[in-house]
Amino acid sequence: MAVLLGFFSLILYAYINYSVETELRASLVKQAHYLLAKYDDLESALKKQKDLLRRTLKINAQIISAPSARYRPLHFQVLEKKKHTYLQAYFPYNFREQSYLVLTADITQQKRMQHKVFRAIVLLTAVAMVLILFYAFLLSGMLLSPIRYFSRRLEKMNENILEPLNIREIPPEFHPLARSVNALIARIKNFLLYKKELFVGTAHELKTPLAVMKTRSQVALIKKQKSSEDLERVIRENIDTIDNMNRIIGSILEFGRAEGAQFEKPVSLDLVAFVRSKAEEFALLAQSQGKKLHTRLTPKSLPHTVQPLLLTQILQNLLQNAIRFTPKGGKVQLFSYTKDGEFVVKIRDEGPGIDESVDLFAPFKRSKDSPGAGLGLFLVKSAADALGATVTLKNRRDGRGAVATFSLPLEEK
């Protein structure tokens, strides 16, 4: 900014100088035309009225001869004599005699005025630069203050202290950034909470069957009369328990692989075409179970940049649950549309519904009739959070099942 100010000041001073000098030269040219038009014998008139011209027009006028080698068209010359500045204009007068009409004007006052203007411009530029630098430091301090506040608060945060930023302590210009940071903190808190629940739930889900196996085995050993049928029954029950534990471990490993999908590079794809392709795959699964999958997808096309594996995990788990809980002969409905800058996918089933008082997106939370480990919806929630999307699960208003809603914010154009 200071450099630009200095540059424009130089341009302004150069323009003022050019305008003044152009005006002075134009004045001498006008006076020369006047003299040439007024007097037929200009040389004699100048000798007689030299003093009169000096008093009235404030110029010295004379006719001089120049060597032919130095004879030129109209030109000007600035002279410095005894602290005075003069502007001389040479007008070709008699080509045969190689003579000029020379007008000399004292421009000392104009030059002094130009110097004063120059000093004023330099002074104003210096003052303006100081003010600009002061304002820049003041403004930078005002801008850095909220950033330092963000830095201090974020440095002090850990997984045990995740408090949102106080927006009132931040200038209004930074409120959008503060709200974004608070939203990120909330997502991190939920993520850590779900992680803790996952670890605790994993320990509980594995510890309980281990305790059952241990108790069952101890009872079998304590019995005095042990038949081969009893031992075989205990072994088979333990094998079933181990199979259940393997399914739980498999679900946890699947969740771990899904977490890695969050680092997949986003690609541009047609969301509607992508959902349609997944619907066609699950339509075959529903048909094989004596059920139907109906789709109504709009718009016809919707390009968007997204991570395909995360989107697949969401659609796959929601469609699997809808088909699983829909009774034979029932139908699952899949809708898509855009609303308020979001791409919305709704999946309706005809199952028994859900218990809305339970957070089914928490790890190991599942309905009574669910055969899974309770990590499917937890996986859906984690994938949706990674996409910056939202997912909800509610009962249908007609009481004939549940509806899952997935909303993905679209890119601003």
Q: d(Cα 342, Cα 40) in Å, to the nearest integer?
A: 91
What is the reported pLDDT for 347?
95
- What are 1's two structure tokens? 């900014």
Tell me, what DSSP letter sits at residue 295? E
Q: One digit per residue, pLDDT tens: the chain, 413 residues?
A: 667 777 788 888 888 888 888 998 898 899 888 888 888 888 888 888 878 877 877 888 888 887 765 667 888 888 888 888 989 898 888 877 888 888 998 888 888 888 888 888 888 888 888 888 888 788 777 777 777 877 877 777 776 677 788 888 777 877 888 888 888 787 777 777 767 766 766 676 677 778 878 887 887 777 766 677 777 888 888 888 887 778 777 766 666 665 555 556 788 999 999 999 999 989 988 999 999 999 999 999 999 999 888 898 899 889 988 999 999 999 999 999 999 999 999 999 999 888 888 888 776 666 655 555 567 788 888 888 888 899 999 999 888 899 999 999 987 54
Cα Rg for the chain, rounded, in angstroms? 46
- What distances in angstroms separate CA 14 from CA 10, 115, 338, one per listed residue? 6, 12, 61
What is the reported pLDDT for 371?
56
- What distances in angstroms separate CA 326 from CA 44, 92, 322, one per listed residue? 123, 109, 6
Strands (E) in 176-266, as ranges, are: none
Q: d(Cα 391, Cα 399) in Å, to the nearest integer?
A: 20
| Residue length of the chain | 413
| Strands 390-395 and 342-348, sheet pairing | unpaired
Closest CA to 343 of 387, 285, 382: 387
Q: d(Cα 77, Cα 87) in Å, to the nearest integer?
A: 6
Query: With 0-12 CB in 10 A as exposed, 13-18 as middle and 19+ as buried, what is 348?
Result: buried
Query: Residue 332 pairs with which residues in a beta bridge?
Result: 293
Q: d(Cα 330, Cα 323) in Å, to the nearest integer?
A: 9
φ, ψ of residue 395 in degrees (nearest 5) = -75, 150
Strands (E) in 278-410, as ranges, are: 292-297, 303-306, 331-339, 342-348, 390-395, 402-409
CATH class of 264-409: alpha beta
- What distances in angstroms separate CA 346 from CA 353, 392, 402, one per listed residue? 15, 10, 10
The helix or strand, by DSSP H or E, that contains position 268, with its residue range, turns out to be strand 267-270
What is the reported pLDDT for 395?
93
Q: ω into residue 73 within 30 of 0, thus cis?
A: no
Q: Where are the alpha helices (DSSP H) in 57-174?
A: 108-156
Q: How far is CA 203 from the centre of its chain?
A: 42
pTM to 2 decimal places: 0.51
What is the reported pLDDT for 369?
58
Answer whether 87's CB lies under 8 Å from 80's CB: no
- What are 257's two structure tokens? 């692989």
What is the reported pLDDT for 413?
43
- Quickly count: other Cβ atoms within 10 Å of residue 215's Cβ: 10
Q: d(Cα 196, Cα 192) in Å, to the nearest integer?
A: 6
Closest CA to 105 of 34, 27, 22: 27
Answer whether 271's CB lies under 8 Å from 306's CB: yes
Q: d(Cα 279, Cα 141) in Å, to the nearest integer?
A: 56
What is the reported pLDDT for 407?
95
Q: d(Cα 21, Cα 15) in Å, to the nearest integer?
A: 10
What is the reported pLDDT for 269?
92
Output the DSSP codes for 335-393: EEEEETTEEEEEEE--S----TTS-TTSTT---TT--S-S-HHHHHHHHHHHHT-EEEE
